[in-house]
């Protein structure tokens, strides 16, 4: 099942593409647990659980034992991102063939199926190498492939989710399937499977060889033979709906997403509309997970009627334990639930029989959001789901009263809060500021005891900043070179709030120290999703109200990257407004501007790039740049919902994504003063880099992107 992502794009700005050295690749520093798992399956050989992450173009694995999976060293019961699963595009489902080769459906614009060989072998007439992802050449004309399943003869069935819906088979041998001739190693659309639509999601094949497909409002079956199964009269090769599988819910939609079948022939289906799991019991089944049922009569599993939020994928292990994936957007909720057939231990956790119970992830991060770093190179990441801060220490010692070890990430105990924080920044003194977008507050974790914005505070004690008032869904924080705190609001009509450090004038507006005020110069901005200051005090804002746009509020009259600007007068920043969906922005201390964007090219392929606007000619990460001309530094597919980036004193770029905290190694230079999140040089401390920095795709939270020709999953 697929979470298909759609993108509302603006006009196109031509940027200078890399023409020389290859682009550097970032590496994952702190992995995060899956946020929205899609299709799931168990490795039939090892029992490891595999699942897709459509939002991050990746596959996760929970290993049953320590060892090696597709060439990657793993630890038992610790979920990891599968390194071998590269080049994915909105992966929807995963499935294994009998030989243990892994197949992944790409429901994005690539319209393809990826295969990773368990060993050097041949699949559907194609040579594949062990642990290397390649596109399955036999899978052709698979528009928006989602669900997949193998039958007992090695035929691969693929369900599509485009406008008319379809069911295809990649045949293992010449022959006849459902009354239609098929050719080995070729894809054939099965005309007998009628009634599928653009809500089609998952595929299951039962012991009789019937193909069952999850639709928007039912489960549809293409019978291999005539008879009565699932309390439904069936005629061979004639598609019909399975009796009693139509969901009854109304929010967010009546959508059957994931399906799974156990050895007894019980058919389980995830109803995203009701946020429940239904089951059509097999012909002899009278009890499922302690619940009395009637054979062949669809019913809802009562243990699933509460607890799920936006369920998606489903899988059953060889012991009969049922697994269902759930969407994690807030709160300390699991991404995976288990209904154990008997009291047992699965993936390191003991589960009671017949009760849906969340699996506790070992990951430190669950929903990475903002990120910042101090002048020692310690990197701080907000976990939006748990409301706490994870620190990636640069050296062994003490941080906010807590012992830390260099290179070992740990939850910062002093930051623990039930609130859903997203924005984060550090001031020149090393005090940590957090934006609480639920309670419309700003919290401070002081490095030392003292007074901040007129308020007495104790060291290492998380405290609400009383002077930060009038906020409405604050999501971004930035300090200007004078230490004034700017707070970006995503709703409520107050676009940017400023909390002055001293009385005076800010952008032509009189302000009083320690008294919050709406910045009048930005009254026309809709939703300030991200902000950044350059060393001269010019403020750039990304606005996500309607078509995404960008603005600059100049501190002085002159030119800004070649564009004429007037002091204290907000002006649309043409370079960023003309790119397709700018999503994040940052300055270095020299004043070079970095931004992330998402674009769609002429062949409808979606690309994600990081570009630089340099003030001078030079070389950044091996790429030659020209002043005021955007130059791509990073290109490719990455996670969406990425919401933060920062530079450490050595010039390494850290950024968050749904899959965790990433690092793009920069030039190794002598330590320099700190740079804060989203506002490089906001503290007024210069950063001198030999060549510059780049970053990977960032998408500000609150911007849900959907793809124009794809069906999007509902979200809450």
d(CA 556, CA 537): 9
pLDDT at residue 329, as a whole number:
57
Neighbours of 66 (CB within 10 A): 11
DSSP 3-state of 62: strand
Q: Supply the pLDDT for residue 251.
A: 38
The answer to whether position 191 is within a domain reads no
Domains identified in the chain, total number: 1
Residue 614, in any domain of the structure: yes
The upper half-sphere exposure of residue 576, i.e. CA atoms within 13 Å in the direction of its Cβ, equals: 29
Enclosing domain of residue 658:
368-664
Q: Is 520 within the bounds of a domain?
A: yes
pLDDT, residue 667, reads 57
Whether 220 is covered by a domain: the verdict is: no
Specify if 688 maps to a domain: no
pTM of the predicted model, to two decimals? 0.79
Residue 218's contacts (CB-CB under 8 Å, 6 or more residues apart) are 241, 242, 245, 246, 256
Nearest C-alpha neighbor of 641 from the set 312, 336, 329: 329
Q: Residue 490's pLDDT is what? A: 85
In a domain, 214, yes or no: no
Say which CATH number the domain at 502 has.
2.120.10.30
Question: Is 533 among the domain residues?
Answer: yes
457 within a domain of the structure (yes/no):
yes
CA 495 to centroid of chain Cα atoms = 26
Tell me the mean pLDDT per 10 residues along the chain, length 716. 30 45 81 85 97 88 97 94 91 96 92 96 98 96 92 95 81 97 97 81 94 85 95 94 69 67 94 88 95 93 90 95 83 84 96 95 83 93 86 95 95 77 89 91 96 97 95 91 93 84 97 96 84 94 77 96 96 82 82 78 54 88 88 66 76 81 64 33 28 26 28 28
Give the pLDDT of residue 163: 58
Q: Which of 450, 394, 390, 399 is nearest to 421 (CA)?
A: 390
pLDDT, residue 254, reads 56
**β-sheet bridge partners, residue 10:** none
Q: What is the DSSP string of 434-492?
A: EEETTTTEEEEE-SSSEEETTEEE-TT--EE-TT--S-SSEEEEEE-TT--EEEEESSS
The pLDDT of residue 715:
27
């Amino acid at each position: 099942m697929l979470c298909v992502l759609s993108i509302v794009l603006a006009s196109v700005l031509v940027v200078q593409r890399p023409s020389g050295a290859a682009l550097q690749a970032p590496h994952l520093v702190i992995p995060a647990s899956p946020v929205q798992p899609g299709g799931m399956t168990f490795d039939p050989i090892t029992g490891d659980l595999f699942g897709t992450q459509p939002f991050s173009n990746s596959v996760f694995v929970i290993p049953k034992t320590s060892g090696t999976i597709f060439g990657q060293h793993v630890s038992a019961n610790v979920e990891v991102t599968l390194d071998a699963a590269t080049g994915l595009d909105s992966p929807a489902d995963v499935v294994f063939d009998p030989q243990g080769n892994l197949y992944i459906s790409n429901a994005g614009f690539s319209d393809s199926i990826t295969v990773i060989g368990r060993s050097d072998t041949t699949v559907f007439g194609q040579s594949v190498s062990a642990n290397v992802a390649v596109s399955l050449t036999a899978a052709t004309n698979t528009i928006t492939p989602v669900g997949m399943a193998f039958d007992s003869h090695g035929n691969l069935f693929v369900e599509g989710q485009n406008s008319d819906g379809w069911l295809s088979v990649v045949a293992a041998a010449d022959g006849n399937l459902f009354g239609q001739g098929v050719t080995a190693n070729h894809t054939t659309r099965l005309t007998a499977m009628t009634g599928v639509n653009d809500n089609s999601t998952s595929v299951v094949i039962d012991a009789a060889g019937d193909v069952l497909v999850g639709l928007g409002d039912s489960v549809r079956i293409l019978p291999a033979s005539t008879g009565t199964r699932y309390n439904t009269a069936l005629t061979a090769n004639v598609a019909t709906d399975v009796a009693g599988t139509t969901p009854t819910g109304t929010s967010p939609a009546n959508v059957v997403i994931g399906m799974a079948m156990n050895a007894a022939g019980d058919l389980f289906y995830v109803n995203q509309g009701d946020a429940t799991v239904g089951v059509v019991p097999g012909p002899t089944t009278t009890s499922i997970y302690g619940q009395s049922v009637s054979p062949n009569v669809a019913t809802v599993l009562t243990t699933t009627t509460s607890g799920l939020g936006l369920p998606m994928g489903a899988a059953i292990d060889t012991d009969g334990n049922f697994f269902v994936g759930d969407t994690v957007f807030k709160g300390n909720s699991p991404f995976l639930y288990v209904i154990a057939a008997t009291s047992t231990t699965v993936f390191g956790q003991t589960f009671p029989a017949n009760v849906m119970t969340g699996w506790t992830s070992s990951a430190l991060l669950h929903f990475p959001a903002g990120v910042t770093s101090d002048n020692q190179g310690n990197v701080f990441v907000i976990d939006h789901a748990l409301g706490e801060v994870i620190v990636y220490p640069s050296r062994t010692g003490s941080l906010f009263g807590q012992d830390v070890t260099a290179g070992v990430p740990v939850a910062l105990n002093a930051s623990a809060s039930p609130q859903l924080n997203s924005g984060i920044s550090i001031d020149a003194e090393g005090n940590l500021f957090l934006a609480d977008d639920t309670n419309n507050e700003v919290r401070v974790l002081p490095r030392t005891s003292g007074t901040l914005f007129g308020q007495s505070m104790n060291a290492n004690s998380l405290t609400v900043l009383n002077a930060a008032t009038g906020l409405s869904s604050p999501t971004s924080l930035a300090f200007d070179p004078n230490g004034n705190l700017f707070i970006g609001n995503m709703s409520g009509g107050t676009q940017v709030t400023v909390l002055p450090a001293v009385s005076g004038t800010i952008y032509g507006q009189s302000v009083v120290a320690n008294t919050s005020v709406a910045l009048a110069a930005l009254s026309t901005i809709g939703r300030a999703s991200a902000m950044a200051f350059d060393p001269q005090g010019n403020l750039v804002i990304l606005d996500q109200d309607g078509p995404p746009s960008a603005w600059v509020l100049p501190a002085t009259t002159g030119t800004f990257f070649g564009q004429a600007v007037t002091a204290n007068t907000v002006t649309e920043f043409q370079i960023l407004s003309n790119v397709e969906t700018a999503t994040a922005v940052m300055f270095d201390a020299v004043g070079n501007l970095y931004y992330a964007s998402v674009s769609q090219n002429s062949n409808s392929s979606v690309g994600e790039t990081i570009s630089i606007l340099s003030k001078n000619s030079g070389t950044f990460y091996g790429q030659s740049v020209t002043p005021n001309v955007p130059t791509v530094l990073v290109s490719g597919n990455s996670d969406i919902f990425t919401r933060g980036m920062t530079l450490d004193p050595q010039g390494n770029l850290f950024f968050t994504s749904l899959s965790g905290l990433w690092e793009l190694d920069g030039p190794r230079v002598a330590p320099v003063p700190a740079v804060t999140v989203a506002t490089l040089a906001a503290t007024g401390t210069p950063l001198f880099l030999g060549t510059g920095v780049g970053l990977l795709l960032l998408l500000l939270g609150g911007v849900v992107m959907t793809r124009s020709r794809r069906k999007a999953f509902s979200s809450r």
